[in-house]
Structures are given as structure tokens and as C-alpha cells.
Structure 1
Amino acid sequence: MSVTKVPLIGLKADGFRHPLDLQATAALKQLPGLDLMIRNFLGSIGEQFYYLNNIASSVLVGPEQLPQLHGLLVEACQILDLEVPQLYVRQHPVPNAYTLAMRGKQPFIVLHTSLIDLLTLEEVQAVIAHELGHLKCEHGVYLTLANLLVLAAGQLPSWGGAIAQTLQSRLLEWVRCAEFSCDRAALLATQDPKLVVSLLMKLAGGSPTLAPQLNVEAFLAQARAYEETGKDPMLDLLKDLQTAPLTHPLPVLRAKEIDLWASSQNYSALVQNSFSRYNGKTDNLGGWRNW
């Protein structure tokens, strides 16, 4: 099905932010000095390290370098009303993407080659838009701190272990909630819920060989079946234990959430208002594509 996409001029993060993200962010902001701690911990040396690591070991996407990916990035930024960050492609066997934004420097997104190989171009744009969601919602500082604590958890001194573990647990919970907001950004940029669900399905159990055989409706049915297990208190406990150490919500939960939001008044209002604004003004839309 063809989907006509228009820019969401003036889009604000709070217009699409997931309620769990709002709650978890408010809880983190109650921790005094958290933002300042991570900024001081990284400092200018940390910024230079991450910049050099990417520019030396990845490919910087631009109009003359992987222009198709650059076009997807620019279009997603125009739709989400964001400035265009740097985008790097990195050779890596594990499908992944991540964003880093520190101390007011230009943020950047990194895509692994194995992720690109797994997805269609439209799904790659959904990934890019998901990462842009972190920038739109200003998740950068907390994301950086969460990653540092996860990496350093086994090296923390015993006297600080309990405090560090509590903070790490709070941050992981926040990251999982933040991911729901970024999935919504992916939907706003692609304006095709089945495309976003397809991406999540491939992350759960896809491969370049299996991708053509995967079924979005069957995956959504699987997500509903997972939700129905919540009537058993013991299974609820097992679910909590399963998700506690994760940096992302389970793929079936993400698929269910995006499917629900796609049929909500909140989503319809955000998209339909933009369609109404640009109705009959296609000359102003330049190169907007129909998927």
C-alpha cells in the first residue's frame, strides 16, 4: 500500500512521548546532579574518543557517500522537524544501531552493516527515525550514562555496589521506557505501522534468508498471545525477571505498543493535522515520496 508522507512541522517530543517514558524521565530527574555527573565524567576527551573512533573505523554517510542512506536520513529529519545529525555505517556482525549526543556537540547515529543487510530500505529509515527519536526526546545524556554503568558494573568497588546497582536498575528501566517513544518516532517518520512491526519482527527472528517468509499479522498474534499470559501472577514475576537486565523492551511488547498507538487518536491527530495543513499544497512538498 502506498503511503504519502508529509513533514510534521513544529512537532514536539511531548506530543508523541510514551507515558512510561514521561514517568521514568521524571523519576531520573529527581536524582540530583545526574546530568552534570555524566557530562563531567565524559569531558572533552570522551567526546574526542567517540568522534575519532567513528571517523576512523566507520563510513560517514553524505550526499556523495551512500547517497541513498543519506536521502533516507534527510527525509526522516524533515518529517520529524529535526536538524540532520551525522550518520555512520560500521562493519559489524551483530545487527544494531545507536545514537550518541554529548555536551552540545553534533550528535551522530551509527548503523551496523548486518542490520542494513537484514532490512528493506524503508525499514532502515524506520531504524534511523527511531534513533532520531532519541535526539528529539533529548535522551542523549541518560543513554550515555546507562551504557557506561552497564559496561562498568563488574568493576565497581564493593562499597558502592548496592548504590550502583540501584542506579543501574533505574537507568535500565528508563531506557526500556524511552525505546517506546522512539518506536513512535519511527512510526511518525514512516507513517506505516506494519513497516515498523516488520522491523521489530526481523530483529526478533529474522535473517536475509528468512525475511521474505515472515508474516506481520502472525507476529502481532504472537504479541497478543504473550499479553494473555499476564493473567498468571507467577508468569508476571517471570516476565519481570526476564526484562530487568535488558536495555530494550521485548520485541513482541514493542510491536503490540506500536500497533495500539497507530490506531489511537493521538497518532491520528498528529498525522492528519499535517495532511490537512498540506492538502492541496503538493508544490511545497518537494521530493516527498510515496512508498
Structure 2
Amino acid sequence: MNLSKTQLIGLKADDFRHPLDQQATATLKQLPGLDMMVRSLLGSVAEQFFYLNNIAASILVNDKQLPHLYNLLTDACGILDMEPPQLYIQQNPVPNAYTFAMQGKQPFMVLHTSLIEMLTPQEIQGVMAHELGHLKCEHGVYLTLANMMVLGARLLPNWGTAIAQSLQNQMLEWLRCAEFSCDRAALLATQDPKVIMSILMKLAGGSPTLAPQLNLEAFIQQARDYDAISDTILGEMLKQLQTEQLTHPVPVLRAREIDRWATSQDYNHLLETRQIEYNQKANPKGGWRNW
């Protein structure tokens, strides 16, 4: 475990959950029976499907298989005060990572090889921590439904009624908001906002060849320029049309949110409070622990 970082003993999801995630989750919880429907109808099927796919066609990471990646995972879990999920590495040319869990079941995380090849070790840990954020916030039930609905929409574009379309729009809105919370979890684990913004920059326009040549400061300025588009009614409307069918907020918007939260009193207070608690647990007789 990396003791140079603040260990967030007793960290709770609501300590870092993004306000938009809180609002969108509260809206979904007002839909009666949605949670139980997902668990009963989709949970067991999705769980078996993913497990079979992972165990048959991916590499299970542990202390004997790709231990450097396993150490990144356990270090992030130690900082975020949670148990490590299973980690699989899957050969795939599309840079991506995802996680799956139903409460009470074995959670897992999957990282694609193309994503690993594009990122530094710190950035890989940031991606892991983002996925851990889904587990910490218990996004699993709604995340499963959102992914199923997105898949259904792609396979059958005219698949639903007006009610189904409304639910899909709500799920996509929730999914985009949930990503902001997970980006915050990534920041808490790496404790370096530039690491998280660099990940987003590379996801927007990186490759193993281009990634080392990208300029992070220019990307941060690009994120600020994106904000300026909202200065006009037309610009704001176009931004909403651009994102309403996306599963993730656009990378520059996520970078801007991390940039803001990293300099906020809430973020710094959270680190300071947890640091004090960690030192008290590490040295209960008094005094400060020397790193």
C-alpha cells in the first residue's frame, strides 16, 4: 500500500458522490419496483453471462498473474477502504473498462488491453479507481439496466414505446451523472487531478503512439473553452443535443468537473479529515505517524 497518499479510512460513497448523481439516483428510486425487477429478471442472467465470458476469454489478475496490475488494484482499494473485486484483462482493440456487481455477489472489473497500452501505471490505477467508484456507490443494479437498455436500443432502434423511451432517457441521464462520482473516486485514489485529466485526454484522442505527445495544459484549456459555448442559448441547446444519447459525459466536461472539485474546500477537507483519522488509528497513543 502506498503510504505517501492519504488513506481514506471509513470512506463512504456520500462523502464524494456528485450532486448530479444524487439527484438522478433519487429520481430513479421514485420508480416503484425498478430495483427488484433488475435483480430478479436481469441479475442472474447477466452475472452468468459475464462470468462465462471472463473466465473463458480473459486473464484473471492476481499476485501470481500480472502482479504489477494486481498491486495497483489493491493499493487503490486500500486508499478507498474497500475489498478488491476480481480483475480481468481482455484482449480488445477498443480502449474500455467496465465493472459488474449485484449486492451480495462477487464483483469484477474488466480492463481492455488497448487501454492499458495507452496509459501510464498511475493512469491505469485511476481507471481502476473509477470502476471501484461504481462498486463503492452501489451503482450495480441501475448500471446493469442502463447497459441492457443501451444494447437493446442499438440492436432494435424502434424497440420501445414512449414510456420505454422515457425510461431509457432517464437511465442515460443517470449513467452520465454516475460517471462524475466515479471520476471523483479516481481522484481520491490517485490524489492527482492531472492524472485523471490525462486519462480523459487520452480517451478523447489518444493512442499508444500519440499519447506521449499530447499536451495536458492545452486539453485543460480546451475544457474551459467548452464551458464558454454555454454563453449563448444556441450553444447550450447544441450541447444538450450532443450529449442526451451518450452513456458518458464528453471528456472535456469530465475534465472540467475534476479540475473544479480538486480545488474545492470539500475535496481538501475530506482528505484532511481522513488523514487525521488514519493517523489516530495508526498511532493511538498520540502524535503523528511519519511517512
* Structures share fold, TM-score greater than 0.5: yes
Q: What is the TM-score with the length of structure 2 in the denominator?
A: 0.92
Equivalent residue for 2:66? Answer: 66
Q: Judge conservation of contact 1:153–1:164 (CA < 8 Å) in 2.
A: no
Q: Name the stretch that deviates more: 193-202 or 275-284.
A: 275-284
Are 2:32 and 1:37 aligned? Answer: no
Q: How far did 1:27 drift?
A: 0.3
SS at match of 2:165: helix
Query: In structure 2, what residue type is equivalent to 1:73?
Result: L
SS at match of 2:109: strand
Equivalent residue for 2:143? Answer: 143
Structure 2, gaps ≥5 residues long: 285-290
What is the alpha-carbon distance in structure 2 between the residues aligned to residue 167 and residue 222 of structure 1? 33
What is the alpha-carbon distance in structure 1 between the residues aligned to residue 108 and residue 180 of structure 2? 20
SS at match of 1:111: strand
Distance verdict in 2 for CA 1:194–1:3, change over 3 Å: farther
Q: Judge conservation of contact 2:9–2:278 (CA < 8 Å) in 1.
A: no
Distance verdict in 2 for CA 1:259–1:159, change over 3 Å: closer
SS at match of 1:106: coil
Q: Judge conservation of contact 1:116–1:124 (CA < 8 Å) in 2.
A: yes
Aligned length: 284
What is the alpha-carbon distance in structure 2 between the residues aligned to residue 174 and residue 50 of structure 1? 23
SS at match of 2:88: strand
Equivalent residue for 2:287? Answer: none
Equivalent residue for 2:276? Answer: 276
Equivalent residue for 1:287? Answer: none
SS at match of 1:99: strand
Distance verdict in 2 for CA 1:27–1:66, change over 3 Å: same
Structure 1, gaps ≥5 residues long: 285-289
What is the alpha-carbon distance in structure 2 between the residues aligned to residue 262 and residue 159 of structure 1? 41
Are 2:81 and 1:84 aligned? Answer: no
Counterpart mapping for 1:192-231 below 5 A: 192-231=192-231
What is the alpha-carbon distance in structure 2 between the residues aligned to residue 214 and residue 84 of structure 1? 32
Distance verdict in 2 for CA 1:174–1:280, change over 3 Å: closer
Q: Name the stretch that deviates more: 209-218 or 109-118.
A: 209-218
Equivalent residue for 2:10? Answer: 10
What is the alpha-carbon distance in structure 1 between the residues aligned to residue 115 and residue 157 of structure 2? 36
Counterpart mapping for 1:91-240 below 5 A: 91-153=91-153, 160-240=160-240
Q: CA RMSD in A?
A: 2.2
What is the alpha-carbon distance in structure 2 between the residues aligned to residue 148 and residue 13 of structure 1? 24
Q: Judge conservation of contact 2:153–2:159 (CA < 8 Å) in 1.
A: no
SS at match of 2:217: helix
What is the alpha-carbon distance in structure 1 between the residues aligned to residue 159 and residue 101 of structure 2? 31
Distance verdict in 2 for CA 1:165–1:82, change over 3 Å: same
Q: How far did 1:277 drift?
A: 3.9
Q: What is the TM-score with the length of structure 1 in the denominator?
A: 0.92
Distance verdict in 2 for CA 1:42–1:218, change over 3 Å: same
% identical equivalent positions:
67
Q: Judge conservation of contact 2:9–2:277 (CA < 8 Å) in 1.
A: no
What is the alpha-carbon distance in structure 2 between the residues aligned to residue 240 and residue 87 of structure 1? 35
What is the alpha-carbon distance in structure 2 between the residues aligned to residue 162 and residue 240 of structure 1? 20
